[in-house]
Amino acid sequence: MGKEKPKETVVARPDEFYRKPPEYGRLEGFLKFLYNPDDKSFLGRTCESWAKIFIFYVIFYACLTAFWSLMLYIVLQTLPENSPTFLTASSIIGDNPGLGFRPRPPDEQVDSTLVMFSKGREEGYTYWVSAMDEYLKAYDVGDGHDENSVNCSFNNPPKEGKVCRFPLSELGSECTKEEKYGYSIGKPCIVIKLNKIFGWKPEPYTSLDQLQSDMPEALKEVIKADAEKNNGTLTPMVWMSCHGENPADKENIGPIHYYPHQGFPAYYFPYMNQAGYHTPLVALIFQQPNSGVLINIECQAWDQKIVHARQERIGSVHFELLVDQKIFGWKPEPYTSLDQLQSDMPEALKEVIKADAEKNNGTLNPMVWMSCHGENPADKENIGPIHYYPHQGFPAYYFPYMNQAGYHTPLVALIFQQPNSGVLINIECQAWDQKIVHARQERIGSVHFELLVDQKVPKF
C-alpha cells in the first residue's frame, strides 16, 4: 500500500475573525432586523431562541408568583380577621381618642377647617346642608344592619354583640334637614364625633374630686349639676366642652346648645367593629355667632385618662366658623332729603350729612352713612376724635351684592387720633339709611369692639 498523503492544515487569516459586516441603508437595515432570511431570525432571535426565552420567563414568573402567594398566605394567617393586630396603647393610634367635626369643607379644600356660609340666601349655605345630609344618611334606620342595633340608655346598656342605635331625632329640633340645620337663619348646627379606636373604653368620672384643674369652669358646673340631679352619682359620660380659642373668639362665639347631651354616653363603647355600629354624635347649635368675623373654636373631650395636646389635636378638635355678613341682593335706601334723618342719629353725623347737602346744592350723596362713638359716657370722653377714610360711609354703587366674581366689600378706615391710654374703650359703629334698624344685643345694623392702648413704658 502506498503512503497516505498528509492532510493539509488550513489556517484562517486573522482578518476573517473581524470581518466587517455588510453595510445596509436605514430602511434595509430595519427590515433585516425585523426578519433576516439568511439565518431566519425575527427581531434578532431565531424561533428556537424565542421559544427558549419564553419558556424561561414562564417558569421564572410562575415560581415568583407561587413564592409571593405562599408568603402572603403565611402573613394573613397571623392577622386577626375582625380586629387589628395591635390595640390601643400598643398601636400607632394609641389610646387617646381625638374628635372630628361634620360637615367638612369641600374635598378640594382638604387642608381647610373653615365652615363659612351666608345666611338668608340658599346659594350661601346649600353645600353645608347637602354635606350634612350625606353624612347623616348612614344613621337613618334601615341601613342594612338595623337588626343588630338596639335602643340603649344608661340603665339599659347593649348586650354582647349588639350596638346602640343613635336616633337622629336626638340632635334636636333645630338640627334637622327641614330646618336646613340652622344655616339659613345663622344658627349653624355642627356635629362632633369621637374618633373610633378599636377596643378603647372610656374611664368616666365617678366623683367631683376627679375633675381636672384645667377643665373649663362652665363644664364643671354642668357636671356638678348632673351630680346633684343624680344624688351625688355622676352619669358615665365622656364629657365635652367647646369654646373660643382666644379672647376675641370667646366674645364672638355666643351661646352654644348641646344635643342630646354635653358629651358621649359610655354605653356606646367599646367599638369592636360590630355590624351597624355608629359613632355617637353631639350637635352644637350656635345660637348667636357674630357675623363677619372669623371665630376659632376648640372642642375637648374629658374623662379620667384623656389628655389634650392642641398642636397634635389629641383629645380635641379645632375648626373655624365664619358667618358671611354680605346679604345677597340687598340694596340700600339712601337718604334723599334731610327730613328723612332719624331722630336717634348722632348729632355729629347729622352735621356731616347736612354739610354734604350744602356742598351738593341740597342733593345728598347716595351713601350708607356710618357713625362710630363710645358706648358709655366714659368711653365718649376717652375715645378722642376719629377720622374716616375715604368717606364716612359706604357708597351705594357698591350694591347689590350678587355673588359676582371678584367682588370686594367696600371698607371705611377709622383713624383714632388721640385715644386715651391705659383705659378700655367700648366702641360701637352703626350703619344708617332709611331702612336699617339697630339692635345692640343682636348686633343688627352695628358692630361692637374695644380699644385699649397700653400705657406701660418699655424697659431699656
Residue 143 has a pLDDT of 45
DSSP state of 19: P
Annotated domain spans of the chain:
15-79, 88-324, 338-452
What DSSP assignment string belongs to 415-443?
EES-PPTTSEEEEEEEEESSS---BTTTT
> What CATH code is assigned to 338-452?
2.60.40.1660
Confidence of residue 3 (pLDDT cuts 50, 70, 90): low
Same fold, 88-324 and 338-452: yes
Q: Enter the pTM of the model.
A: 0.65
Q: Which helix (H) or strand (E) holds 300?
A: strand 295-302
Has residue 459 got a pLDDT over 60? no
Strands (E), 38-134: 41-42, 45-46, 99-102, 114-118
Which burial class, exposed, middle or buried, applies to 120 when counting CB atoms under 10 A from its CB (0-12, 13-18, 19+)?
Answer: middle
The region of weakest confidence among 58-72, 138-152, 309-323, 412-426 is 138-152
- Give the model's confidence band at 144: pLDDT under 50 very low, under 70 low, under 90 confident, else very high: very low
Q: Exposed, middle or buried: residue 299 (CB in 10 Å: 0-12, 13-18, 19+)? A: buried
pLDDT at 102 over 70: yes
pLDDT, one tens digit per residue, over 287-298 is 989 888 899 999
Q: Sort strands 256-259 and 189-194 into parallel, antiparallel or unpaired.
A: unpaired
> In the structure, what pLDDT confidence band is assigned to residue 386 with cuts at 50, 70 and 90?
very high
In angstroms, the CA 284 to CA 206 distance is 25
Name the superfamily (CATH) of residues 88-324: Na, k-atpase alpha subunit. (2.60.40.1660)
Q: Is 324:407 a contact under the CB 8 Å cutoff?
A: no
- The per-residue pLDDT for 458 is 57
- At residue 48, the pLDDT reads 85
pLDDT tens-place string over residues 174-187: 999 999 999 988 89
What residues have CB less than 8 Å from 422, skipping those under 6 apart?
A: 453, 454, 455
pLDDT beyond 50 at 304: yes
Amino acid residing at 375: E
| More confident of the two residues 219 and 25 | 219
Banded pLDDT at 12 (limits 50, 70, 90): low
- Predicted local distance difference test score (pLDDT) of residue 442: 65
Per DSSP (E only), the strands in 60-204 are: 99-102, 114-118, 149-150, 163-164, 189-194
Tell me the mean pLDDT in the region 411-434. 95
- Mapping DSSP to helix (H, G, I), strand (E, B) and coil, where does residue 364 land? coil
Highest mean pLDDT among 2-6, 92-96, 108-112: 108-112
Task: Report the half-sphere exposure of 296 (CA within 13 A, side-chain side).
Answer: 5
> Is residue 362 helix, strand or coil?
coil
- pLDDT tens across 83-100, in order? 777 777 777 777 889 899
Average pLDDT, the chain: 88
Q: What percent of the chain has pLDDT over 70?
A: 92
Query: Is pLDDT at 146 greater than 70 in this prediction?
Result: no
Nearest Cα neighbor of 286 from 313, 319, 315 is 319
For 112, other C-beta atoms within 10 Å of its C-beta total 13
Name the pLDDT band for 253 (thresholds 50, 70, 90).
Answer: very high
* Comparison of pLDDT for 293 and 373, the residue scoring more: 373
Q: Which three cell numbers stand for residue 386?
A: 376719629
The pLDDT value recorded for residue 381 is: 94
Can you tell me the mean pLDDT for 92-120? 87
> What pLDDT is attached to residue 406?
84
Q: Which residue has the higher pLDDT, 6 or 108?
A: 108
Looking at residues 336-340, what average pLDDT do you find? 94
Q: What is the arithmetic mean of pLDDT over 398-417? A: 89
Q: Do residues 227 and 214 make contact, with C-beta atoms less than 8 angstroms apart?
A: no
